[in-house]
Amino acid sequence: MKTRTVLLAFTVLATCGALSAQAPATAWPQFRGTTALTGVSATQMPLSLKVQWTYEAGDAIESSAAIADGAVFVTVASGELIALGLDKGQVRWKYKVELGFGESSPAVAGGKVLVGDLGGIVHAVNVADGKAAWTFKTRSEVKSSPVVVGDVVLIGSYDGTLYGLGLADGTLRWEVKTNNYVHGTPAVLDGIAYFAGCDEVFRAVRASDGKVVFEAPIGAYTGASVALDAGMAYFGTFENEVLALDLKTHRFKWRYRHSEREFPFYSSAAVAAGKVIVGGRDKMIHAIDTTSGKAVWTYMTRARVESSPAIAGSRVYVGSGDGRFYVFDLATGAKVWEYDMGGPLSASPALANGRIVIGSQDGRLVCFG
């Protein structure tokens, strides 16, 4: 009986660990879906996608949407944070900022929508009515996306700082200085935030108090966010590589570089089924084996891929600068479907409730399902 109990407990823990790397089926509350930034959703997507609705935002959409409580939250370059119904795309409210939004993607937690703008201000907006709850001013533009850990909001700024702010009122809890922009979004596991900085240093920081746990040299400028899976961190660099860093030994397990095409990786990786899926400025989608660091498959689009892939079930969803939204088979890389959005796609897809939402640089937000 004791052996059976132990085995059952182990099974439950293993299952919980696996699920923690997935966004729940009903929500995509932040950039990449979860704090581990794996880009994986538990939702079941239709085998055949159709356009459910579109929304014309009037200016470029460079950030990825958040989905929570039946609503879509997305920013527009002109300076609007917009809440729409996931079902039909009806506008619920709009929140305006002065200097516009860039790549910072909204996060939803504690009844608030959190996002940074190009004026360096972090905004907390009430989900219910679109009114400001609080703001916090950094010293430069914010393109990093917020991540909420307990009652702390983590977000980076181009002033070279990773900030820890109180979720309730935006008070400064702590800050960690780096030697260059903090562009990427921090990934969090067991209370530790991991991010690869533009100063070519990988950092682990305790989310509760900002204590630096360790630092590791990367040897390359990094704009991508880190994906965490099974004790490893995966991210691309501007030295044309995708890296796998062991979080225990602080050593690189492998470095992936395409044999022929030497281009930077700006897209943030998705991780599932023993594969790292990432887009490159070489116009390709790359699927890399997590054990060997070797390519499993690649697919050539018609332009650079800065959109970060998302995964649900056996399929990969990603946009390209060629204006097309692609669906691939996760195992083989076979193209299942594509849809011409009309404008370049640098934003990443958000998945929930059997729907996919993605915006384009010509200001068109599309919901598939």
Does a structural domain hold residue 268? yes
Q: How far apart are CA 186 and CA 315, in angstroms?
A: 25
Collapsing DSSP states into helix, strand and coil, what is residue 111? coil
pTM for the structure as a whole: 0.94
- What is the pLDDT, as a whole number, of residue 49? 98
CATH number at residue 287: 2.130.10.10
In SS3 terms, 131-189 reads as CEEEEEECCCCCCCCCEEECCEEEEECCCCEEEEEECCCCCEEEEEECCCCCCCCCEEE
- What is the pLDDT, as a whole number, of residue 134? 99
What is the rounded average pLDDT of the residues 47-61?
Answer: 98
Rounded to a whole number of angstroms, the distance between the first and last alpha carbons of the chain is 46
Split at pLDDT 50, 70, 90, the class of 290 is: very high
Does a structural domain hold residue 21? no
Does a structural domain hold residue 10? no
- Give the DSSP H/E element, type plus range, for residue 369: none
Among 15-19, 31-35, 123-127, 328-332, name the one with the lowest average pLDDT.
15-19
Asked if pLDDT for residue 233 goes beyond 70, the answer is: yes
Q: How far apart are CA 334 and CA 296, in angstroms?
A: 12
Q: How far apart are CA 145 and CA 202, in angstroms?
A: 17
What is the rounded average pLDDT of the residues 141-151?
Answer: 98
Q: Which domain holds residue 231?
A: 38-368
- What is the pLDDT, as a whole number, of residue 50? 98
Residue 102 CB contacts under 8 Å (≥ 6 apart), including other chains: 62, 63, 77, 117, 118, 141, 142, 143
* Percent of the chain surpassing pLDDT 70: 95
- What is the pLDDT, as a whole number, of residue 19? 45
CB 95 within 8 A of CB 81: yes
- What is the pLDDT, as a whole number, of residue 304? 98
Task: Label the pairing between strands 152-156 and 161-166.
Answer: antiparallel
- What is the pLDDT, as a whole number, of residue 12? 30
Does a structural domain hold residue 164? yes
CB 173 within 8 A of CB 152: yes
Number of H helices, E strands in the chain: 1, 33
Split at pLDDT 50, 70, 90, the class of 20 is: low
Q: How far apart are CA 9 and CA 11, in angstroms?
A: 5
Does a structural domain hold residue 214? yes
- What is the pLDDT, as a whole number, of residue 197? 87
Average pLDDT, the chain: 94
Residue 259 CB contacts under 8 Å (≥ 6 apart), including other chains: none
Domain count for the chain: 1
Does a structural domain hold residue 177? yes
Among 14-18, 22-26, 358-362, name the one with the lowest average pLDDT.
14-18
Distance of CA 243 to the CA centre of its chain: 17
Does a structural domain hold residue 31? no
Does a structural domain hold residue 299? yes
Q: Token pair 């002065």 is at which residue?
A: 98
pLDDT digits (tens, 9 = 90+) for 263-284: 999 999 999 999 999 999 999 9
For every residue of 16-43, DSSP letters joined together read HHHHHTSB-TT-B-STTSSTT---EE-P
Q: Token pair 């890389």 is at which residue?
A: 333
What is the rounded average pLDDT of the residues 307-325?
Answer: 98
- What is the pLDDT, as a whole number, of residue 146? 98
Split at pLDDT 50, 70, 90, the class of 285 is: very high
Asked if pLDDT for residue 18 goes beyond 50, the answer is: no
More confident position, 197 or 205: 205
pLDDT digits (tens, 9 = 90+) for 100-137: 999 999 999 999 999 999 999 999 999 999 999 999 99
What is the rounded average pLDDT of the residues 147-165?
Answer: 98
Residue type (1 letter), 34:
T
Q: How far apart are CA 328 and CA 284, in angstroms?
A: 13
In SS3 terms, 289-341 reads as ECCCCCEEEEEECCCCCCCCCEEECCEEEEECCCCEEEEEECCCCCEEEEEEC
